[in-house]
Structure 1
């Protein structure tokens, strides 16, 4: 043994064999060090962790249609996270806020608002029992549902779940049980849109899972106004929660819009929506500062940003009642 090395080992209280063993242990534990990957926060990248301690796989999320169109770069007086926003007084038709309101984009489950209008105006019996079939299973996005194939609920229960908790199978079943079937139902949806003057709007199915269901904020404001004339739609869309009996089970559903639970809001009608192509969407009719307003937010980034945008608008209006239009230069018609 080399004297200098032996002396050093003695000072550390180790013998040469013990030191060699310790070195082997250290080598074994550091041979495959864990890889730590730091990823900057971004709305355009989703992180997916694979069941491995050695790597992180980065899966890019699909950009929304608004993002592809460059709408996310549009600024506005309230610094909204939605690339499209439209606020109008329902009684006077005064436009209070207009941000890309003419842009035609996918509207996700906001579609279900037109679905409900067609069902209600058709005068179909709400106590008629409808059955979920394999045709109601989502093959567009692969989304799940607690309404299994064979589940039977009344048309009224299906309508409640579609509006309040955005139940896709319930919405599809409503269209499928329309006289003439789903093709006739979609035709009725588009006919109603034209009747309301919604010239930028097109529907291909009743759930909103298809990105080919498209509209503009201005058109959707017309739809909200029409839907709010039906007390049943207003009541069901603003319901906080609802239970349905399915065989021996009782299923509890909740609203997709937590502003419904906020006592500072007086919401008369609402509907949320989301698919990746549409971003987060929200339409509401609400009374603010003594005015009945229709609010539309499309292509919002972040899970709660559409609700945050609604809060920004509420605080803005209540702080200083608006008498003139707030627009984004060059984007309002």
Structure 2
């Protein structure tokens, strides 16, 4: 009987040692917890004048170490096997276009808002998914309809994202006013808020989407099409030229300017107070004077950003589409700002185009 106990103890000791050797060199793996032998609950086996101590704490710690290491290795394997889904711009080869500012966005456009002079363009006629930049048109329609902003709207199951499976802090059953939902949609890109605005529009969602497309046509946005109000669908598409037109139109609405550039907003949901923040950190940067903005992202669209801003005394509209990297769209905006500030007269203009001009959905 004592031999069986000894064999079990030796196996456990050997397992802990093997586990420590295995987990130590794993690159980027979560650090394995050390097996600490605690004094309580220690089993002692005496044989050949040697004492082997195995604590319950050591056994539990060893099992946890194996779970952490295995999970880390599994994550690395999944990431290696399943590459990131390419954007439409990448598929079309738009990232092959080089530009003097080394922008990470495959599509970019900078124009003078007052004179309509194009200062910088890169694949500006390419038609791509626009993700949550869609919500800017959603805001234009809601604001233009002059619906009561204090009307209470309830988030329902119909507002839950079945396109991408994205999460939301607005649970089904949440009740907020139309004004609150519009604020969250424009500032923090809240998908359920935007969908609820379209769903509860007089005539329902189909009427709302028709109005979105009709407004685009009226503004001369001929490369633009909408199928829903959030931007989760890759079939919501536009070009940089059209989006600059939309930004200019939306900037004329004081409410859209205020809500889109708000740095933060709190809403009461039941007994809780939820804090929402702007998805564009540049609105908090004192070096920027931003009059209107909207961000967007889905894998098909890449990172997107549109802004109206004032730089070196000039009112500019900036559009960045299909940027690679979470912060690269903001980095591109910073690069353009420094470029404009270093050449306030803007004697030179930049126009870059890749071989692929348009991407069908």
The TM-score with structure 2 as length reference comes to 0.79
Map of 2:351 onto structure 1: 327
Q: Which residue pairs with 2:134 in the alignment?
A: 111
Q: Hey, what's the Cα distance between the residues in 2 that align with 1:114 and 1:221?
A: 12
Q: What stretches of structure 1 of length at least 5 have no aligned partner?
A: 1-20, 39-48
Equivalent in 48, 52, 66 of residue 71 of structure 2: 52
CA RMSD after TM alignment: 2.5
**Residue of structure 2 equivalent to 1:276:** 299
Instruction: Select the structure that is richer in helix.
Output: 2
Secondary structure in structure 1 of the residue aligned to 2:309: strand
Question: Which residues of 2 match residues 1-333 of structure 1 at below 5 A?
Answer: 25=14, 29=18, 33=22, 36=26, 51-52=70-71, 55=74, 56-57=76-77, 58=80, 59-321=82-344, 322-328=346-352
Tell me if structure 2 keeps the 8 A contact 1:286–1:294. Answer: yes
Residues 256/51 of structure 1: CA separation in 2 closer, same or farther (3 Å cut): farther
Report Cα offsets for 1:105-140 as digits up to 9, x if no partner: 000000000000000111111111111000000000
Structure 2 vs 1, CA of residues 158 and 36 (structure 1 numbering), >3 Å: closer, same or farther?
same
How much has 1:167 moved relative to structure 2? 0.3
- Which deviations, in whole Å up to 9, do the C-alpha atoms of 1:9-35 show, x marking residues without a partner? xxxxxxxxxxxx9xx959972899458
CA distance in 1, matches of 2:268, 2:92: 45
CA distance in 2 between counterparts of 1:285 and 1:26 reads 62
In the superposition, the TM-score normalised over structure 1's length comes to 0.86
Assess, with a 3 A threshold, how the Cα gap between structure 1 residues 30 and 95 changes in structure 2: closer, same or farther: same
CA distance in 1, matches of 2:207, 2:102: 42
> For the residues of structure 2 that align with 1:264 and 1:332, how far apart are their CA atoms?
35
Question: Quick one: distance in 2 between partners of 1:97 and 1:175?
Answer: 34
Cα contact 2:94–2:355 (8 A) shared by 1 = no
- Please tell me whether the aligned partners of residues 101 and 332 of structure 1 are also in contact (alpha carbons under 8 angstroms): no
Q: For this pair of structures, how many residues does the alignment match?
A: 303
